[in-house]
């Protein structure tokens, strides 16, 4: 009944009867003493476009889907629900009702009850960071169900308009799998000169996540990626032109958000996640370089991303999606610049490394890898070859092969930063 109309929830209450439960909940959790940066001033729905307006800066947002009944939830970090607690219960196209809640101090939650399965599309913050607009795109029930099992989507206001995430006022103990509040930052190695570019090398998998396992030698991807990361570090340090840090220098498990989180906290100039591919078809071989895209370049790339993203799921618990501690790591896919720099580096890496490493045809591919979702750090995922292929796995497991991979990365990194300095 409200379709094609503009409505906002900060009007006088019009749906008193439907709101009782919500208000009881709000009265319990709303705490005026805990006043924080942004409050949700209005929620506007126009056709399938929705805009949330804040009266001050917020730290960011994350969204996730809940199936049966189908809902879309948005957690706004650094925000409280509206000043006078409001709830709306109205129909507007795909949205059956809108609810607000406060799942914890400093996070406001908006829940859209859906009239039919739909997902968020084109979410973006306004340039001043004070509103968040997105569309709803109808999807099939199957697609919604599948998407509801995926990780949260993180959104970030433009840099410079970002509120500090609120300080935690209490701690919560969660029984399983919650990552430690903040992973200790690794040591930065190389010349003691903060003006030199910093490259963060991420050895894929680790700890209880072995990654792919070679059917020939039993070698595990997590060991190969660590050896490669160390070899790359050695060559980069020998060049003397960059500083280097490894996300892990031993056999430990990190969720994907922690990996790019380390790169962001160190303000890295380049993030390279090192992996080894696997395929049923043991003749598949060669390296490839992936950069982030919500649209995968082909079905194989989409499958690979799904497999690599599974590293977050242990015992059925998605450590990435449920980790409040990494919610300050936020994503804004509209940061084209970061993605363009990553693409330039991916092409360069293929060009430079192909002298010593065998690449596949169409070696630069795109897919939605969680580990590449740092909004402000150019990031690539380097699948160095197929662990399922006999020759590739022998090459990658050998010191000589690792040295060749490292040399290719070193050459690409040097040219990359030389070009960027020249472009300034």
| Residues binding Zn ion (CB under 5 A) | 204, 211, 275, 308
Q: Considering the complex, what minimum distance in angstroms separates the CB of residue 308 from Zn ion?
A: 5
Q: How far is CA 315 from CA 78, 179, 312, 330, 343, in A?
A: 31, 14, 10, 25, 34
Long-range residue pairs from 295-299, CB within 8 A, at least 24 positions apart, any chain: 295/366, 296/365, 296/366, 296/367, 296/368, 297/362, 297/365, 297/366, 297/367, 298/365
DSSP-derived letter for residue 34 is: G
Q: Considering the complex, what minimum distance in angstroms separates the CB of residue 324 from Zn ion?
A: 26
Q: Which is nearer to Zn ion, 102 or 291 (CB)?
A: 291
SS3 314: strand
Q: Which is nearer to Zn ion, 115 or 284 (CB)?
A: 284
Per DSSP, helices labelled H in 269-322 are: 299-309
Q: Considering the complex, what minimum distance in angstroms separates the CB of residue 342 from Zn ion?
A: 18
Q: Which is nearer to Zn ion, 95 or 367 (CB)?
A: 367
Q: Which is nearer to Zn ion, 345 or 382 (CB)?
A: 382
Please say whether the dihedral angle defined by the alpha carbons of residues 58, 339, 275 and 299, taken in this order, is positive or negative.
Answer: positive
Q: Which is nearer to Zn ion, 19 or 381 (CB)?
A: 381
Find the residue with minimal CB distance to Zn ion. 275
Q: Which is nearer to Zn ion, 211 or 324 (CB)?
A: 211
Rounded Cα distance between 48 and 4, Å, is 9
Q: Considering the complex, what minimum distance in angstroms separates the CB of residue 400 from Zn ion?
A: 22
Q: How far is CA 47 from CA 44, 63, 98, in A?
A: 10, 20, 14
Q: Considering the complex, what minimum distance in angstroms separates the CB of residue 290 from Zn ion?
A: 11
**Are the beta carbons of 297 and 366 closer than 8 angstroms?**
yes
Q: Considering the complex, what minimum distance in angstroms separates the CB of residue 307 from Zn ion?
A: 7
DSSP-derived letter for residue 124 is: E
Q: Considering the complex, what minimum distance in angstroms separates the CB of residue 238 from Zn ion?
A: 26
Rounded Cα distance between 42 and 55, Å, is 9
SS3 180: coil
Q: Which is nearer to Zn ion, 70 or 202 (CB)?
A: 202
Kindly state the helix (H) or strand (E) to which residue 23 belongs, with its residue range: helix 20-29
CB-based contacts of 174: which residues, under 8 Å, 6+ apart?
A: none
Q: Considering the complex, what minimum distance in angstroms separates the CB of residue 71 from Zn ion?
A: 32
Kindly state the helix (H) or strand (E) to which residue 288 belongs, with its residue range: strand 287-292
The tokens describing 36, both together, are 């924080």
Q: Considering the complex, what minimum distance in angstroms separates the CB of residue 383 from Zn ion?
A: 7
Phi, psi of 286 (to 5 degrees): 105, 160
Q: Considering the complex, what minimum distance in angstroms separates the CB of residue 221 from Zn ion?
A: 5
Rounded Cα distance between 70 and 67, Å, is 4
Q: Which is nearer to Zn ion, 156 or 402 (CB)?
A: 402
Q: Which is nearer to Zn ion, 144 or 366 (CB)?
A: 366
The tokens describing 364, both together, are 């630069």
Q: Which is nearer to Zn ion, 202 or 308 (CB)?
A: 308
């Amino acid at each position: 009944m409200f379709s094609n109309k503009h409505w906002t929830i900060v009007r006088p209450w019009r749906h008193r009867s439907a709101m009782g439960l919500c208000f009881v909940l709000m009265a319990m959790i709303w705490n005026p003493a805990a006043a924080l940066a942004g409050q949700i001033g209005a929620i506007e729905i126009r056709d399938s476009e929705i805009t949330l307006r804040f009266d001050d800066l917020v730290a960011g947002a994350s969204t996730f889907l809940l199936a049966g009944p189908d809902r879309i939830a948005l957690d706004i970090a650094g925000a409280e629900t509206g000043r006078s607690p409001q709830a709306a219960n109205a129909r507007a196209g795909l949205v059956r009702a809108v609810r607000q809640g406060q799942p914890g101090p400093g996070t406001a939650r908006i829940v859209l009850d859906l009239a039919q399965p739909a997902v968020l599309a084109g979410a973006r913050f306004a340039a001043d960071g004070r509103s968040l607009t997105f569309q709803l795109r109808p999807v099939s029930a199957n697609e919604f169900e599948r998407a509801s099992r995926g990780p949260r989507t993180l959104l970030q206001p433009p840099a410079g308009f970002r509120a500090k995430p609120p300080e935690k006022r209490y701690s919560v103990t969660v029984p399983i799998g919650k990552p430690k509040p903040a992973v200790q930052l690794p040591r930065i190695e190389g010349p003691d000169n903060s003006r030199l570019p910093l490259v963060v090398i991420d050895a894929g998998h680790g700890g209880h996540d072995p990654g792919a396992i070679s059917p020939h030698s039993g070698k595990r991807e997590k060991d190969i990626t660590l050896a490669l990361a160390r070899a790359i570090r050695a060559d980069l340090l020998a060049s003397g032109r960059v500083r280097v840090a490894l996300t892990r220098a031993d056999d430990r498990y990190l969720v994907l958000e922690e990996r790019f989180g380390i790169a962001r906290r160190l303000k890295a100039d380049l993030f390279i996640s090192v992996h080894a591919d696997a395929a049923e078809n043991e003749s598949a071989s060669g390296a490839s370089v992936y950069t982030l895209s919500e649209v995968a370049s082909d079905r194989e790339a989409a499958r690979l991303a799904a497999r690599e993203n599974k590293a977050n799921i242990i015992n059925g618990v998605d450590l990435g999606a449920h980790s409040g501690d990494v919610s300050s790591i936020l994503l804004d896919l509209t940061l084209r610049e970061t993605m363009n720099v990553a693409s330039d580096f991916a092409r360069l890496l293929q060009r430079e490394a192909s002298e010593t490493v065998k690449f596949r045809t169409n070696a630069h591919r795109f897919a939605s890898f969680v580990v590449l979702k740092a909004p402000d750090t150019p990031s690539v995922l380097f699948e160095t070859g197929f662990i399922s292929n006999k020759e590739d796995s022998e090459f990658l497991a050998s010191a000589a092969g690792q040295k060749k991979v490292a040399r290719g990365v070193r050459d690409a990194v040097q040219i990359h930063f030389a070009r960027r300095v020249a472009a300034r």
